[in-house]
C-alpha cells in the first residue's frame, strides 16, 4: 500500500511532439481503431464504433484514412445468415508490415517472423554456445537469421517494420543495449548496429521477464476496470528475473527491475555476477545445488546446471533429504525476502511464477512465505496472491508481439 500518484506537469510548450492542434486527436483515434482490430480480430463498421466508443461517422473517416495508408483492408463478407445489409469486415492488412522477434536464452536463440495481424509466419531456432561466442558474432548471427526469415517468406528488408529482441539480464532499453547477462557477463552488446541491416525497422530490446509481465497483464487485466491494477512476473530458473506491470489510467506501463542481483543478504554467498548476497546467489539453480551439496558458498558457481540435476535434487528433497530440503527452503526464503522488498516499494500485487523453477515451487513455498512475513508491509497488507503461470517462452513471445505491433501501429498513425 505505497502511495502513488501520477501528475500531469503541463509546463512549457515542448514535450517533444507538439503537433499542430487537433491532429493529435486524429492519430489517437487511428491507433484506437487499429488496436481494437488487433485485439478483437476483424470487425465491422458498427463493431468498431462499439469497441472504440467513436461515433459512426468518425469510424467512416478513420477507416478510410487507414485504408488509404494500407494498414487495413475490407474483407469479403461471409454469408451472414441474418437479414439486412451485410456487414463488411475490416481487418489489418497482413502484408502492411512484418515483425521479427528474437528470443535469446542461454543455450538457444529462437527467431520468429510475424505479420501485421500477429500471425506467426515462420520460425527458426539456432542452438549456440553463447559463452563461447563474442558479441559481434551474436549480432552477425541475428542479422543473418532475420535475413533468412525474410527471404524464406519472399520479403525484402524494407518490409520489416520492427525487430524485437529479448534476453534475460540487465538491459538498457532506451539505448537498446544488453548491459549484463549471465552468459555474456561483461561483454556488452549494442544491438543498434542491427539497424544498419534493417533500416526500416524499429528496434526494441527488452528484458524477457518484462515481456512476460506485459503478456500476463494483457491477458488478465480487464480493460473495463479503470482502477490501477498491477502484477509481478517472477521467473525462476538458472537466473532470477522479475517484471512489474501496472495499469494506470488506460496506460499499461511495464518495468523490469534488476531483481536477481538486488542485494539480499550482505556478505552472503558469492554470485556469478561477482557480488555477494544477490537474490540469485541464493535462489538460482546453481545456488540451490551449491547449498544442497554444501559446497563452500564462496566457490565460483557453475555456469550451467543441467535440469536433470535439479530434478534429482528435488526428488531427494521430497523423499526427506534434509539438506536438499534446506537448500530449496533457503531459495524460497531469499525470494520471499526480495519480494517483500519489491512489494514494500510498490504496492501489494499478485505474483505469477514462471520458468523452469516453478516445478520446485512446492519445496520453496514455506521459505517464501517466511521471507515475506518478515516485513511490516506484509504484516499490514497480508501475503500476496501467488500463482503459477503458463509457458514462459510463449508468454514472452506474446509480449514481443503486442509491443511490436503496437509500435508499428503508432508509426502507421504518424502518416
Partner DNA sequence: TTGTTTTTCTCGACAGTCGAGAAAATAACT
Partner DNA sequence: AGTTATTTTCTCGACTGTCGAGAAAAACAA
Q: What is the dihedral of CA 307, 312, 315, 317, to 10 degrees?
A: -100
Nearer to DNA, 64 or 380 (CB): 64
Nearer to a copy of itself, 115 or 280 (CB): 280
362 binds, among a copy of itself, DNA, none (CB under 5 to 8 A by kind): none
Given candidates 119, 123, 312, 379, which one binds a copy of itself under the rule CB under 8 A? 379
Classify burial at 6, counting beta carbons within 10 Å of its beta carbon; exposed 0-12, middle 13-18, buried 19 or more: exposed
Spatial CB neighbours of 27, under 8 Å, sequence gap ≥ 6: 19, 413, 414
**CA nearest 203: which of 403, 1, 374, 413?**
403
Site string for DNA, 88-127 (x = CB under 7 A): x---------------------------------------
Specify the DSSP class assigned to residue 176. T
- State yes or no: residue 194 binds a copy of itself (CB under 8 A): no
Nearer to DNA, 6 or 22 (CB): 22
Nearer to a copy of itself, 193 or 381 (CB): 381
Element (DSSP H or E) covering residue 285: helix 285-292
Which of the residues 343 through 362 are near a copy of itself (CB under 8 A)? 344-346
**CA nearest 209: which of 401, 347, 349, 400?**
400
DSSP assignments along 320-369, one per residue: T-HHHHHHHHHHHHHHHHHHHHHHHHS----EEEESGGGGGHHHHHHHHH
Grid-cell match 463498421, residue found = 45
346 binds, among a copy of itself, DNA, none (CB under 5 to 8 A by kind): a copy of itself
Least distance (Å) from a copy of itself to the CB of residue 149?
25
Which of the residues 24 through 63 are near a copy of itself (CB under 8 A)? 24-25, 28, 31-32, 35-36, 39, 51-54
- State yes or no: residue 342 binds a copy of itself (CB under 8 A): yes
Which of the residues 37 through 56 are near DNA (CB under 7 A)? 44-46, 53-56
Which residue ranges make up the site for DNA (CB under 7 A)?
20-23, 25-26, 28-29, 44-46, 53-58, 60-63, 77, 79, 82-88
Amino acid at each position: 500500500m505505497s502511495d502513488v500518484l501520477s501528475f500531469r506537469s503541463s509546463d512549457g510548450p515542448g514535450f517533444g511532439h507538439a503537433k499542430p492542434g487537433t491532429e493529435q486527436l486524429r492519430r489517437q483515434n487511428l491507433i484506437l481503431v487499429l488496436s481494437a482490430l488487433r485485439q478483437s480480430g476483424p470487425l465491422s463498421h458498427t463493431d468498431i464504433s462499439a469497441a472504440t466508443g467513436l461515433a459512426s461517422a468518425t469510424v467512416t473517416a478513420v477507416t478510410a484514412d487507414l485504408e488509404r495508408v494500407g494498414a487495413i483492408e475490407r474483407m469479403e463478407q461471409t454469408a451472414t445468415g441474418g437479414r439486412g445489409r451485410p456487414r463488411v469486415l475490416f481487418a489489418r492488412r497482413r502484408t502492411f508490415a512484418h515483425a521479427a522477434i528474437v528470443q535469446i536464452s542461454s543455450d538457444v536463440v529462437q527467431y520468429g517472423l510475424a505479420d501485421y495481424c500477429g500471425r506467426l509466419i515462420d520460425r527458426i531456432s539456432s542452438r549456440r554456445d553463447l559463452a563461447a561466442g563474442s558479441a559481434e558474432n551474436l549480432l552477425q548471427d541475428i542479422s543473418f537469421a532475420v535475413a533468412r526469415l525474410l527471404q524464406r517468406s519472399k520479403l525484402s528488408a524494407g518490409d520489416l517494420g520492427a525487430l524485437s529482441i529479448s534476453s534475460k539480464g540487465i538491459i538498457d532499453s532506451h539505448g537498446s543495449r544488453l548491459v549484463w547477462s549471465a552468459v555474456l557477463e561483461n561483454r556488452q552488446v549494442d544491438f543498434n548496429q542491427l539497424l544498419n541491416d534493417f533500416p526500416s525497422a524499429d528496434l526494441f530490446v527488452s528484458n524477457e521477464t518484462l515481456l512476460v509481465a506485459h503478456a500476463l497483464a494483457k491477458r488478465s487485466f480487464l480493460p473495463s476496470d479503470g482502477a490501477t491494477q498491477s502484477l509481478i512476473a517472477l521467473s525462476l530458473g538458472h537466473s532470477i528475473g522479475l517484471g512489474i506491470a501496472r495499469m494506470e489510467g488506460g496506460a499499461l506501463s511495464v518495468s523490469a527491475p534488476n531483481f536477481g542481483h538486488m542485494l539480499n543478504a550482505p556478505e552472503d554467498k558469492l554470485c556469478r555476477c561477482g557480488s555477494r548476497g544477490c537474490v540469485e546467489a541464493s535462489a538460482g539453480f546453481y545456488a540451490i545445488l551449491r547449498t544442497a551439496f554444501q559446497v563452500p558458498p564462496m566457490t565460483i558457481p557453475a555456469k550451467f546446471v543441467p535440469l536433470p540435476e535439479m530434478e534429482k535434487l528435488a526428488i531427494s528433497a521430497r523423499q526427506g533429504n534434509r539438506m536438499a530440503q534446506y537448500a530449496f527452503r533457503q531459495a524460497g526464503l531469499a525470494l520471499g525476502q526480495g519480494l517483500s522488498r519489491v512489494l514494500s516499494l510498490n504496492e501489494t500485487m499478485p505474483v505469477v511464477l514462471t520458468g523452469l523453477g516453478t516445478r520446485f515451487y512446492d519445496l520453496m513455498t514455506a521459505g517464501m512465505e517466511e521471507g515475506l512475513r518478515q516485513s511490516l508491509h506484509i504484516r499490514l497488507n497480508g501475503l500476496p496472491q501467488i500463482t503459477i503461470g503458463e509457458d514462459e517462452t510463449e508468454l514472452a513471445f506474446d509480449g514481443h508481439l503486442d509491443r511490436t505491433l503496437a509500435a508499428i501501429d503508432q508509426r502507421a498513425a504518424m502518416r
